[in-house]
Every structure is written in C-alpha cells, then in structure tokens.
A and B are shown apart, each in its own frame.
Chain A
Amino acid sequence: ETGVTQTPRHLVMGMTNKKSLKCEQHLGHNAMYWYKQSAKKPLELMFVYNFKEQTENNSVPSRFSPECPNSSHLFLHLHTLQPEDSALYLCASSPPGLAGEETQYFGPGTRLLVL
C-alpha cells in the first residue's frame, strides 16, 4: 500500500449504530487530519493530530470521536449520528511543519450515509 488509505470506502448506518472509520498513511508523515466534505460547502476541517497529539478540534460534535494511536494510524469513531452527518469523510497527512513541506495528501475518502 502506498499513500493514504481509508476503510471502509462506503458505509451506511442507522442513527443508533456505532461504527469506526480507519485511515493509514504510508508516507512517513507526522500530522494527520479528518475532514468532512458536503455538497456546496468547502472542506471542513474536523480534527488535527501532530505526533499523536490532538492539536485542533474544530467545534466538532461529541458524536464524532477521533483516536490516533501512532503517527501512521487515525480513527474516527461514530455514534448516534444524524442524517445531516451524511458526507464524504476524508483523511489527510502532512510532513513536519517546515516551509515547503506542509502539503496535505488525501486518502480516497469514506462515503457515509446515515439513515
């Protein structure tokens, strides 16, 4: 595997279910991100982890719970979601914050549908 991978690629869940999204990066980066992408809206940053430490929580509801066990893996735990949470969830990673090396590289995304 190369780059950033995400599983599952598609997920349908009811509002009472609990599920998890997984992201893995094979680029040797130290920072990882969760984004939400909805139609007609710009990408919304949800969480940022830098060297396994959460450095950004962009006012995300508690029904979304991130976990970063190491610099290569990132999870997003989902519970009691709402239909408006249906979207494409994207994971990204980036190298250390030095000028010229901060480009974010994205995974293919998980298309989530909440019924």
Chain B
Amino acid sequence: EDQVTQSPEALRLQEGESSSLNCSYTVSGLRGLFWYRQDPGKGPEFLFTLYSAGEEKEKERLKATLTKKESFLHITAPKPEDSATYLCAVQAHAGNNRKLIWGLGTSLAVNP
C-alpha cells in the first residue's frame, strides 16, 4: 500500500538552530515528491518538487533532498517566520497520476 510518513510530528527550534524534517514513503514507482508549507488557517504553499533519487533543490534557508525511500527538508539557520506545518506528498506512476498521497505533516516552531 502506498503511504507517506513524516517525522517528527512536531519540532521546536531556537532561531539559528539548523535541523531536518523527514518524509519516508512507499509507493509503486515514484513519479514525484512534493513539499509544501502551510500556515494556520491557510492553504498549502508549494515549495519543491523532486523527481529522482539524488536530486536536490534549494530556496532561501530550505533545501530538499531525495533518496529511493525518503526525502529530507533541511532548514539552515531558521527564523521565527519559518514556523509552519511542512507537508510532504508523493505521486505514483501507477493508477491515477493526479492523486497525491499525503503525510500528516511536521509542525515547526522557531523561537526567537
């Protein structure tokens, strides 16, 4: 069964304290892995799409990496405005290609 597991469920960091969020997945042929950021009461905001193992993408303090079974979202020197829930989703080659399998997210709090 295709599934996505994100860890930790919640993470509290001090400003400037770098860390990583994990997204482990099992899917019958990965078509794409997506990272989103969601602020309370708002819709998910797209961050990155990764397609193949070894791929990396960066945006400001965020860097996403992908292996054959997991993805990491590295946050370097976070600021309080990075506080949000980070969602991971995967898209499989088989079946309905437009259906994403979502994780429960990691709630990140960055203290000043």
**Chain A residues proximal to chain B, CB less than 8 Å:** 4, 6, 31, 33, 40-43, 45, 48, 50, 55-56, 88, 90, 92, 94, 97, 99-100, 102-109, 111
Residues of A within 8 A of B96 (CB): 48, 55-56
Tell me if B99 and A56 are in contact (CB < 8 A).
Answer: yes
Specify the main secondary structure of chain B where it touches its partner: strand
Specify the main secondary structure of chain A where it touches its partner: strand
- Decide: A90 near B102, CB < 8 A? Known: A99-B51, A102-B91, A103-B34: no
With beta carbons under 8 angstroms apart, the residue of A6, A56, A107, A111 that contacts B98 is A56
Tell me if A40 and B98 are in contact (CB < 8 A).
Answer: no
In the complex, how many angstroms separate the beta carbon of A10 from the nearest chain B beta carbon?
Answer: 9
Tell me if B102 and A43 are in contact (CB < 8 A).
Answer: yes
